Amino acid sequence: MAAFNFSATNLPSQIGEYNCSYFSTNNVNVPTMLMLITNSGVGIPPGGGPTWDFSQVQQGNESILRTDIIPPSSGMDGDQFSNATYAEQDTLATLSATNQTGWRYYSIASQGRWYYGFYVPNTAADGLAVFDSPTLDIPATVTNGQSWTRSVSWNTSIYMFGVFGVYYQFAETSTVDALGTLVLPQIGAMPALRVHEVHGYTGSEFGYTVETVTNQYYYWLVPGLGVAAQITLYGKNLVNGETPPFTNSVQRMYSANYFTNGITFPFSPVPSNLYIRLQGGAAYLSWTITNATSYQVLASGNLARTNWQVLGLTSNPNWTDALSPTQRYYRVVGLH
């Protein structure tokens, strides 16, 4: 898998496509989600590296975030983005309401994905941001260890004790820091590249800096899905000492109407007849399965945890684990 690449053409860009993710803010498991689990030297397809397990069922603090691909003209202030060929529209569904939370305007070309601007409602600033020039946010081909930078600027207004014109300058550094296996709810396990982005914003008025913000993003690129999971770490907003009206956030995709299993690393086979019993002072697991060549055994002291501990791989349909002084759950994943 050393030559594993992601193409910008894998990003959803056709009108009518959509995906759904579990979405939460201020998720207490963010540090755990970002850990590079090296599996103690045990190779995990696709060819070793970390495993990120985001496969738990929907949690009580998670909403549903749906992202639709729509014509630019159907998005908020979409007529401001004449060169965009499509828009991403986010809609957040909660128990009490459904709210459109943002629009982003793009096109896919031979160089990669061009980003023209966005509209985000319900903030202190004017929601519309039309970039002075489009910026290439994802190159045509992305591979492990790759880095790129981009910068862009735009004018907007902030509504705070009056209306103030603000000029924003934005700079970003992106690094693909790992290749591994991403496990998603209802979708399964597949190879993924993790991208770490650092975003820096500076807002100025009449030449004076009135705002500086640094945010961090981690997202996972999967062929056939696009951005399959994302973690956002928001930095401090220095306008009058304020902090943004949101906290760290996590989204993990669980369905996409455009996804077909055409990638080389297939879904994980599901073990059946999984049993556990006490044997010789250890926990003895056994199971049956017909279409796997090896099995990944994981453990956790908490069913809601996002990254389970990988105990190892075995080609046999059984596993023995020393007893833990605390409660422990086990999970077995079949691998081709």
Residue-wise DSSP of 139-207: ESEEETT-EEEEEEEEEEEEESSSEEEEEEEEEEEEEEEEEEEEEETTTEEEEEEEEEEEEEEEEEETT
Residue bearing the bigger pLDDT, 306 or 171: 171
Quote the distance between the C-alpha of residue 22 and its chain's center.
11
Chain CA centroid to CA 25, Å? 13
What fold is seen in the domain 272-335? Immunoglobulin-like (2.60.40)
Span 129-139, mean pLDDT?
Answer: 95
**pLDDT 10s digits, 72-100:** 999 999 999 999 999 999 998 764 445 66
For 177, half-sphere exposure in the C-beta direction (CA atoms, 13 angstrom radius) is: 13
β pairing state of 98-109 and 112-119: antiparallel
**Domain boundaries, given as residue ranges, for the chain:** 8-256, 272-335
Q: Which residue has the higher pLDDT, 241 or 202?
A: 202
* The pair of three-digit structure tokens given for residue 225, joined into one six-digit string: 């899905």
* Predicted confidence (pLDDT) per residue in 316-333, tens digit: 889 999 888 888 888 887
Q: How far is Cα 102 from Cα 222, in angstroms, rounded to an integer?
A: 23
Higher pLDDT, 306 or 167: 167
Answer for the pair 190, 263: CB distance below 8 angstroms, yes or no: yes
Rounded distance, CA 216 to CA 248, Å?
A: 10
d(CA 92, CA 96): 11
Using the 8-state DSSP alphabet, how is residue 40 labeled? G
Higher pLDDT, 169 or 159: 169
For 102-116, what is the mean pLDDT?
96
Q: Which pTM was predicted?
A: 0.72
- Enter the CATH code of domain 8-256: 2.40.360
Q: Kindly give the pairing relationship between strand 18-25 and strand 63-70.
A: antiparallel
